[in-house]
Amino acid sequence: MEIRAGRVPVHYVEHGTGLPVLVLHGAGVDHREAEACFEPALDGVAGLRRIYADLPGMGGTPAPETLRSADDVLDTLLAFADEVTGGTAHLLVGHSAGAYFAQAMAARRPAHVAGLALVCPLTAGLRDVPEHRVVTGPGEMGEIGDDAFRSYFVVHTAEMLERYERYVAPAAALVDEAALERIGERWALTPDHTPAYAGPTVVLAGRLDSTVGYAGAVDLVDHYPHASLAVLDDTGHALPHEQPELLRALLTEWLARVERSI
């Protein structure tokens, strides 16, 4: 499906009916990765309309020349949220760069956001990012996957390689590299000095995340007054793939808090 958000036609897929849940993927992929990871954790919950969008310059969503900064992308995502939800309350779930934008969306429209879930969030001040380290190897199989797989996943198994090849790698050919480079030159969002988002929040991080680290995620707990935090051991930036059962459990707890707050 496609809906126009300001000047940009945003491609998305959705499942179910009820309270909208906007799920935002990270950089260099498209909605298929987020759908593969989060749909198993959400599809068993009644009353949720799960919406998986392609961010500008990825998947089926273009990034016209008018998009020249992260602020422009944020404006597009806010317009998309307004259009696809009809301006009603919704949940926000983001992974990596998607979590970076989700934080800003909640800050801009707190009255419209019923809950916020941040998974391996990109933050403005990255620090203490660990070196990449593999914790589960393929045994007698030898080295598996390409460089992109080996640098993204810390769990190197046939199952994780299959997930990478099915849900991550196909998006690479669809990325508008020139657009992402253009936007990346102004990747930092303009600081927002509004009060911290006060709704139910969950922050998940991988202790071995060599892309954004986990220290920035830990810092967010002091920012959000109703945040739960989990730092998962033996897990990297591909946490949604590598720890599906824990992801489901932690999102279920978060959804229960959301339900109590509505």
CA distances from 166 to 146, 149, 152, 170 (A): 14, 12, 14, 7
Could you tell me which of 137, 175, 172, 173 has the C-alpha nearest to residue 153? 137
The share of the chain scoring above pLDDT 90, in percent, equals: 90
Q: Is the pLDDT of residue 124 over 90?
A: no
Q: Is the pLDDT of residue 111 over 90?
A: yes
- The gap from C-alpha 107 to its chain's centroid, in whole angstroms, comes to 16
CA distances from 64 to 6, 76, 176, 190, 251 (A): 12, 11, 10, 21, 34
Q: Which residues pair with 229 in a beta bridge?
A: 203
Q: Is the pLDDT of residue 182 over 80?
A: yes
Residue 184 identity (one-letter amino acid): G
pLDDT tens digits, one per residue of 29-77: 999 999 999 999 999 899 999 999 999 999 999 999 999 999 999 999 9
> CA 14, CA 2: separation in Å to the nearest integer?
11
pLDDT score for 23 = 98
Q: What is the mean pLDDT of residues 217-222?
A: 95
Using 50, 70 and 90 to split pLDDT, how confident is the model at 78? very high
Using 50, 70 and 90 to split pLDDT, how confident is the model at 215? very high
In this prediction the pTM is 0.97
